Amino acid sequence: MRAHKIEVDGISLYSESFGFPGDPPILLIMGATASGIWWPESFCRLLADAGRYVIRYDHRDTGRSTFYPPGTNNYSVEDLADDAVRILRSHGIGSAHFVGMSLGGFLAQLVALKNADNVRSLTLIASERLADADNGMPSMDPAILDYHRHAGEMEWTDRKAAVAYQVGARRLLSGSAHEFDEAATRELAGVEFDRAASPASMFNHASLAGGEEWFGRLDEISTPTLIIHGTDDPVLPYAHGLALKAAIRDSTLLTLKGTGHELHSEDWPAIIQAIEKHTAS
């Protein structure tokens, strides 16, 4: 693994790469409030072993990238999408296969519209359409919102409490297909805390807005697109995956039965095989 940090346009962005730089590049984009470590190192190495050059990175307000005081709103959804392109350019890469999870998939769609030449293919995991809110679509499990209402009561400098909070939050995202892996989640949550300059700043993502100029334009995407969605997703229920497939022409859907809003290790073989095939050409 090689660490890489850049200072560009007044911000710092931290990334890590795996594999041989001459292989087809894959840029992994994680979801809201999550740094790049939630693409576990072993997952990244499996992709690299499949002949891909893999890059994961920390969004602003997560990990080792630029952070702002909790409760501030210094950037937009479009700024985060532009960060993905900044990461690519900092690695000397003109275009890559984009793999995004949740918000990461939303950002990848935006890049595919705004900077199509930078995107060789899209893989959208547990994601929703880049579109206006649709009241006809099923909403997030209320238990998740109720849980996070207590975030403001947390002492985010307390490692033990912060890790426990993350474990509880991730447990709510799990589906019925696999047993929740508390040990692995606790380990990643500890790494997340230790590398974050300001753990509480991740909740600045809750006020993200912008990108409306690109909403409702998914029919313009001609980039080869793979959609991966679990049938037990409590954040973006399965209907969102179906709607995404309907919106992007010629896209392919891989359904993970019983999987939640998670990157569970027992799903890795199916996910990695699908990504390897999708990024082969």
Active site residues: 102, 233, 261
DSSP 132-162: S--TTS----HHHHHHHTTGGGS-TT-HHHH
Residues in CB range of 239: below 8 A, 6 or more apart: 137, 138
Is the Cβ–Cβ distance between 54 and 17 less than 8 Å? yes
Beta bridge partners of 98: 27, 122
169: three-class secondary structure by DSSP: helix
Distance CA 133, CA 126 (A): 16
Distance CA 30, CA 279 (A): 18
Q: Residue 183 corresponds to which tokens in the numbers above?
A: 């040990």
AA identity, residue 84:
A
Distance CA 59, CA 67 (A): 9
Backbone angles phi, psi at 85, to 5 degrees: -70, -40
Is the Cβ–Cβ distance between 227 and 253 less than 8 Å? yes
Strands, DSSP E only, in the chain?
A: 2-8, 11-18, 25-29, 53-57, 96-101, 119-125, 225-230, 252-256
